[in-house]
């Protein structure tokens, strides 16, 4: 009878691979680390609007006002 380390090495390798992939996905890339915060907010707001459109359909409008410290994603004609 083998021990836990040798009985099922495929599961252990798979677990390690999944953990490594998750760790790299969570680590910001160099481009994100050096990206201007305003650009990152704009990119993320547009990504959220695209996700809402994929889930709910239709067009979604993005409004970010840094002076008022306000962000809005709502159904409607997409802003340019």
List the Cα angle 43/49/26 in 5-degree steps: 50
C-alpha torsion sign, points 33, 35, 36, 39? negative
Other C-beta atoms closer than 10 Å to the C-beta of 44 total 13
12 vs 74, residue with greater confidence? 74
Chain mean pLDDT for the chain: 80
Q: Tens digit of pLDDT for each residue in 27-44?
A: 666 666 788 999 999 999
Residue 57 has pLDDT above 70, yes or no: yes
Beta-carbon contacts of 5 under 8 Å, excluding residues fewer than 6 positions away, are 12
């Amino acid at each position: 009878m083998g021990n836990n380390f040798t009985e099922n090495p495929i599961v252990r390798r798979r677990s390690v691979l999944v953990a490594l992939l998750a760790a790299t996905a969570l680590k910001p890339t160099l481009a994100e680390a050096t990206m201007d915060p305003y650009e990152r907010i704009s990119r993320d707001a547009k990504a959220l609007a695209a996700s809402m459109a994929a889930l709910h359909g239709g067009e979604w409008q993005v409004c970010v006002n840094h002076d008022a410290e306000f962000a809005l994603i709502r159904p409607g004609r997409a802003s340019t």
